[in-house]
Chains A and B, each alone.
Chain A
């Protein structure tokens, strides 16, 4: 975390706090208030929606909850205005957390469904407020509520309050982005399932981000209630609030803590630069044109575009390590000194998994021994990937038990299984598309069993990238990698958490035979350093070279277990998997 950013923010605050004493015309103070108001709202929206990708159309609900809390407490119960503000933030937070606690548990409510659901909450809330004594229909007047004297003028007071809120929101947004929470949210943005399997507690992180977001929106609402001094449900819960904050954040750049603030300033300034009579229309037209142009030419947002013009900090200084020969394979996080090789590391008992009545795994018993390389083979659709998905917690087993180092893990959340020391790769690579190759691996080192701090995680990442032969790609985005490199990125990511058990799902497919020989040596070194390896593979050359033991699955059931050479001779394995022709051909 850079202290300079925080100092700059506080210095900016101190400087701007003097503005009310300049005695500007009230009109300008009000415009400045509105700019800061939108900075606060847009930044608060971005902490959940920009960072994690959960686009919320419900920001009007949280903002409105703040408005009505202050309006009711100050307007009907004569609370002092400033005393209502913490309550407004608290009510909005409570609403958000209640919503998130339900919605974030459902894997199906992502993307557009989440957006629609939050929008629906806004309308439900509006209906409740309108038809109960909270509002009752006529709206609430606040003109009798005294405005505290924080500045020489009333607009100056509102300006100061919004300045405090906006500065606070920017500080929070910055700190979140630099923290573990921020890295976790960015990972959720790109691939939530992969993040969870890597050890990110996704549910808790989303809820925390929503709570922060709602508290700030509630605060903004509380201040705004008195600023407008007459609140109605029609105005408060309109679709304009969420649309405006989304527009501002996207315009400024959702992946930067200050992006929404830039967008909010540009749009508010444009709208109010043309307020006189006929010019209002011209103002809206100009705003529209600016929006269209910037989305066309700066799809990442204004701020990231401006920042990207500066030279990159370390443009590919790492030497190209092609065959990963010089990087040692580090040992797992805690090598459990008492555990001897050959003892049981993981025992799956009668593990079954069905999808909508189709049995992908029909009760298999598989033992994984400490220090071995276990090959998992079988026809396509025989349940190999399902087994890996169940062990890693990607989805829970329908039946059966899984014990890892004597501990039952079959019902644990995926991120807890990752913390316990199990890592995996995906058959179809699932990198975090917006994180650099290095940050992809660093995220695993931060959130997995190793649980490193951010700078250490990046060192660890560089080590594993060298191991996997990707050192020269560390600063690239995953999109620049070909399939083979993406598979090795998956491998580096899995190893960076220093697992005691690593599950490799077809990392070798797509390699030619001589490349396979190199990769086989690589996987042996992982095992020699103390990590137990389970791998799913169709490439017979690798299966025969690597496996200490082989497990053959067929139709979700165990067909054979044993030393590779023995298993491959069995007629049932040949018939189900190899085919007679292959047995004759060899490879």
Chain B
């Protein structure tokens, strides 16, 4: 088990947004968390990235309790986030964005290798290195966001809605890239509204509803359950 979350509770003000969440991420797997809007998926991913503080419960990475670490130390511990809406440094160049991803000593030492790896993963970025990140198309920006997170050499990569606002062709390429990252052995936790595609590429799925985990299993088992299909895949078009 790479990441172990036990009885996690997170709240904005008095009302908890997550409670009693217990889950594990295995080394090398691609795990997906699905659920309706307002279920707490982004809260979960932001808590795992250290941006939100748990009110109760523990987060352990490779057996080490990191629950109380400040946000910037989560990155050092080996967790990198690709945030919803990409959040690039828009006026800085693509290269500067990528370099910022590798600020920490162990990542800095491998910066050249990391850049090479990023260019292999997203060849289109090679011609865009000097362009301001904000000038790129939505799909290219999402590639930079993923590449920036990979530059930190994370043990666990958190992806929050990577397909948001992207055209079908770009989404297809993006998921192909996510598959390649998985093939490289990087452990990933993916939150995605594009449930059909998320279930296609994930090895295991958690269903989050109203702040709690209500189901867990492999994608085929999930798809065979009628209530899951109805809730997340809608009527067939």
- Chain B residues whose C-beta falls within 8 Å of the C-beta of A541 in the assembled complex: 234, 237
Q: Are B169 and A578 within 8 A (Cβ)?
A: yes
Q: Which of B24-32, B35-43, B67-75, B98-106 contacts A (4 or more CB under 8 A)?
A: B35-43
Q: Are B168 and A513 within 8 A (Cβ)?
A: no
| Interface-central residue, A485, A510, A544, A587, by most chain B CB under 10 Å | A510
Partner of A513, one of B139, B164, B195: B195
* B166: Cβ under 8 A from any A Cβ: yes
Report the minimum CB–CB distance from B96 to chain A (whole Å).
21
Q: Are B234 and A516 within 8 A (Cβ)?
A: yes
Q: Are B34 and A379 within 8 A (Cβ)?
A: no
Q: Are A484 and B38 within 8 A (Cβ)?
A: yes
- Chain A residues whose C-beta falls within 8 Å of the C-beta of B172 in the assembled complex: 579, 581-582
- Chain A residues whose C-beta falls within 8 Å of the C-beta of B196 in the assembled complex: 513, 587
| Interface-central residue, A480, A512, A576, by most chain B CB under 10 Å | A512
- A-B contacts counted at CB < 8 A amount to 90
Q: Are B38 and A380 within 8 A (Cβ)?
A: no
* A378: Cβ under 8 A from any B Cβ: yes
Nearest residue, chain A, Cβ from B17:
A482
Interface residue count for A (Cβ, 8 Å)? 34
* B84: Cβ under 8 A from any A Cβ: yes
Partner of B170, one of A380, A506, A509, A512: A380
* A87: Cβ under 8 A from any B Cβ: no
- Chain A residues whose C-beta falls within 8 Å of the C-beta of B139 in the assembled complex: 380
Q: Once bound together, how far apart are the Cα atoms of A581 and B175, in whole Å?
A: 12
| Residue-wise interface mask of A (512-555) relative to B, using a CB-CB cutoff of 8 A (1 in contact, 0 not) | 11111100000000000000000000101100110000000000
Report the minimum CB–CB distance from A422 to chain B (whole Å).
23
* A428: Cβ under 8 A from any B Cβ: yes
* B216: Cβ under 8 A from any A Cβ: no
| Residue-wise interface mask of B (183-214) relative to A, using a CB-CB cutoff of 8 A (1 in contact, 0 not) | 00000000001011000000000000000000
Partner of A517, one of B170, B195, B234: B234
* A577: Cβ under 8 A from any B Cβ: yes
* B161: Cβ under 8 A from any A Cβ: yes
Chain B contacts with A in 211-237, Cβ cutoff 8 A = 230-235, 237
Q: Are B138 and A380 within 8 A (Cβ)?
A: yes
* A571: Cβ under 8 A from any B Cβ: no
Nearest residue, chain B, Cβ from A379:
B167
Q: Once bound together, how far apart are the Cα atoms of A541 and B233, in whole Å?
A: 11
Chain A contacts with B in 563-582, Cβ cutoff 8 A = 576-579, 581-582
Contacts A515-B37, A516-B234, A545-B237 given; does A510 touch B167 at CB 8 Å: no
- Chain A residues whose C-beta falls within 8 Å of the C-beta of B195 in the assembled complex: 512-513
Q: Are B170 and A513 within 8 A (Cβ)?
A: no
Q: Once bound together, how far apart are the Cα atoms of A540 and B172, in whole Å?
A: 13
Q: Once bound together, how far apart are the Cα atoms of A513 and B161, in whole Å?
A: 14
Report the minimum CB–CB distance from A521 to chain B (whole Å).
11
Q: Are A582 and B233 within 8 A (Cβ)?
A: no
Report the minimum CB–CB distance from B211 to chain A (whole Å).
13
Q: Once bound together, how far apart are the Cα atoms of A120 and B118, in whole Å?
A: 48
* A146: Cβ under 8 A from any B Cβ: no
* A511: Cβ under 8 A from any B Cβ: yes
- Chain A residues whose C-beta falls within 8 Å of the C-beta of B161 in the assembled complex: 510
Report the minimum CB–CB distance from A571 to chain B (whole Å).
14
* B137: Cβ under 8 A from any A Cβ: yes
Contacts A380-B139, A485-B38, A515-B37 given; does A579 touch B234 at CB 8 Å: no
* A483: Cβ under 8 A from any B Cβ: yes
- Chain B residues whose C-beta falls within 8 Å of the C-beta of A578 in the assembled complex: 168-169
* B76: Cβ under 8 A from any A Cβ: no
* B85: Cβ under 8 A from any A Cβ: yes
- Chain B residues whose C-beta falls within 8 Å of the C-beta of A379 in the assembled complex: 137, 167, 169-170
Q: Are B37 and A512 within 8 A (Cβ)?
A: yes
Q: Once bound together, how far apart are the Cα atoms of A512 and B138, in whole Å?
A: 20
* B123: Cβ under 8 A from any A Cβ: no
* A427: Cβ under 8 A from any B Cβ: yes
Report the minimum CB–CB distance from B222 to chain A (whole Å).
13
Contacts A380-B167, A427-B165, A510-B164 given; does A515 touch B237 at CB 8 Å: no
Nearest residue, chain A, Cβ from B138:
A380
Report the minimum CB–CB distance from A508 to chain B (whole Å).
10
* A137: Cβ under 8 A from any B Cβ: no
Partner of B232, one of A510, A514, A581: A514
- Chain A residues whose C-beta falls within 8 Å of the C-beta of B193 in the assembled complex: 509-512
- Chain A residues whose C-beta falls within 8 Å of the C-beta of B230 in the assembled complex: 514
* A381: Cβ under 8 A from any B Cβ: yes
| Residue-wise interface mask of B (85-120) relative to A, using a CB-CB cutoff of 8 A (1 in contact, 0 not) | 100000000000000000000000000000000000
Q: A380-B165, A509-B165, A515-B234 are in contact. List 7 more A-B contacts (CB 8 A).
A: A381-B138, A483-B84, A517-B234, A517-B235, A544-B237, A545-B237, A579-B172
Top 3 closest pairs, chain A to chain B, by CB: A513-B234, A579-B169, A380-B138
Q: Which residues of B contact A (CB under 8 A)?
A: 12, 34, 36-38, 42, 84-85, 137-139, 161, 164-173, 193, 195-196, 230-235, 237
Q: Which residues of A contact B (CB under 8 A)?
A: 377-381, 427-428, 480, 482-485, 506, 509-517, 538, 540-541, 544-545, 576-579, 581-582, 587
